[in-house]
Amino acid sequence: MDIHFLLPWIFLILPLPVLGMLLLPRADAAQISTIRVPFYAAMHSQLLHETSRTPRIRLFAAVVIWLLLVVSAARPQSVGEAIQLPVQGRNLMLAVDLSGSMEADDMVIGNRQVSRLAAVKAVAGEFIDRRVGDRLGLILFGDRAYLQAPLTLDRKTVKTLLQESVIGLAGKKTAIGDAIGLAVKRLRNEPEQNRVLILLTDGSNTAGSIEPLKAADLAAQEKIRIYTIGVGADSRMVRGLFGSQRTVNSDIDEETLQAISDKTGGRYYRARDIESLLQIYSLLDEMEPVADDVEVYRPVNELYFWPLSIAMFLSLLLALARLPIFNSLIHSRVKHA
């Protein structure tokens, strides 16, 4: 932490009281009007009992108060450590399929069978962590599409909301078109060169009010790049009455997902396992890199109120010390000392 003064030239007025005493003419004692009071004798006796230290203490307090006021007027500030802020990042929306088929456990993480959604959460979570400076949003879709997190720099919250999502939260079907349409609505007012949608699904469009290709046309008009990812192995083991059988996964409408990406200038990827999903996100990092240019921001905290508060407190004590009750208390303690 670095401390500096915003107005250092204020310190030039430090000798002002001394200059005033030296340059200004002294008041003529004969011109000072007198005040007649009936209790002059009592006041005179009290003044005679004042110790020689009292004027010195008051002078010292006055000097300290003046120094504190000058320091406060010079605006002391503490400057924190430099914080790097990206100049401009992507406005990147994630659309994740929560339909019933995402529960299929044909993905493997660490020799353990996991569901497609679990694999997406594991890899997408790391991807979110890397997108420093990007504004991220999250759309979850099933029967319909829902905005779970608007565009934000708070990557931690977006990641938490993704991790907390569950199968069937948005319904059992797949509304790909509605998910794209919602993303278009949220991205259309953002800078054209930074509008990106990453759509993850393991099926074909079976619900919703808008066709996927029609939604892709709208996205192309708004210059939104869509990267589509088909999640799921080519085949998986299914338990039946006669034991486990291997079935072919033909639910993914790769033709439509490819067409969506082609229309919008994006790309289509097929994630058959966790390794390919990791590679896809690495490619996305290369194709949509994080902003390199940064601005340096150093937080500034004002400190003037500390010397100002101390000066006000000392001034209050100095004023109270001139009251008769405080003077008598001081003199009594001096006598006993």
> Do 75 and 111 reside in the same domain of the chain?
no
Residue 326 included in any domain: yes
pLDDT attached to residue 17: 86
CB 205 within 8 A of CB 211: yes
Number of domains into which the chain is organized = 2
Residues 49-78, mean pLDDT to the nearest whole number: 82
> Do 258 and 158 reside in the same domain of the chain?
yes
> Do 109 and 57 reside in the same domain of the chain?
no
Residues 136-155 have pLDDT tens digits of 999 999 999 999 999 998 98
> Do 198 and 163 reside in the same domain of the chain?
yes
Distance CA 127, CA 130 (A): 5
pLDDT attached to residue 319: 81
Q: Is the pLDDT of residue 43 over 60?
A: no
Residue 30 included in any domain: no
Q: Is the pLDDT of residue 220 over 90?
A: yes
DSSP secondary structure letters along 152-176: ES-HHHHHHHHHH--TTTT-SS--H
CB atoms within 10 A of CB 4: 12
> Helix, strand, coil: what percent of the chain each, to 5?
45, 20, 30
pLDDT attached to residue 248: 45
> Do 180 and 288 reside in the same domain of the chain?
yes
Q: How far is CA 337 from CA 120, 324, 329, in A?
A: 81, 20, 12
Q: For residue 242, what pLDDT band results from cuts at 50, 70 and 90?
A: very low
> Do 157 and 285 reside in the same domain of the chain?
yes
Residue 11 included in any domain: yes
> Do 159 and 70 reside in the same domain of the chain?
no
> Do 111 and 18 reside in the same domain of the chain?
no
Residues 259-276 have pLDDT tens digits of 999 999 999 988 887 888
Q: What is the mean pLDDT of the chain?
A: 80
Amino acid 255 reads: E
Higher pLDDT, 54 or 145: 145
Domain enclosing residue 242, as ranges:
86-295
Residue 221 included in any domain: yes
> Do 235 and 316 reside in the same domain of the chain?
no
Residues 282-287, mean pLDDT to the nearest whole number: 80
pLDDT attached to residue 332: 59
Q: What percent of the chain is modeled with pLDDT above 70?
A: 77
Residues 187-202 have pLDDT tens digits of 988 877 788 999 998 8
> Do 262 and 313 reside in the same domain of the chain?
no
DSSP secondary structure letters along 199-246: EEESS---SSSS-HHHHHHHHHHTT-EEEEEEES-SEEEEEETTEEEE
Residues 241-248, mean pLDDT to the nearest whole number: 49
Q: How far is CA 212 from CA 100, 170, 195, in A?
A: 19, 18, 18
Q: Is the pLDDT of residue 37 over 70?
A: no
Q: Is the pLDDT of residue 70 over 90?
A: yes
Residue 175 included in any domain: yes
Residues 1-21, mean pLDDT to the nearest whole number: 87
What string of H, E and C letters represents the secondary structure of 234-246? CEEEEEECCEEEE
Distance CA 140, CA 211 (A): 17
Higher pLDDT, 241 or 302: 302
pLDDT attached to residue 169: 80
> Do 21 and 114 reside in the same domain of the chain?
no
pLDDT attached to residue 172: 83
Residues 152-169, mean pLDDT to the nearest whole number: 90
Which of 51-55, 106-110, 229-233, 318-322 is least confident? 51-55
> Do 58 and 171 reside in the same domain of the chain?
no
Query: Tokens at residue 288, please?
Result: 């949509």
156: CATH: 3.40.50.410
pLDDT attached to residue 180: 95
Higher pLDDT, 180 or 33: 180
Q: Could you give phi then psi for residue 84, rounded to 5 degrees?
A: -90, 130
Residue 64 included in any domain: yes
Residue 278 included in any domain: yes
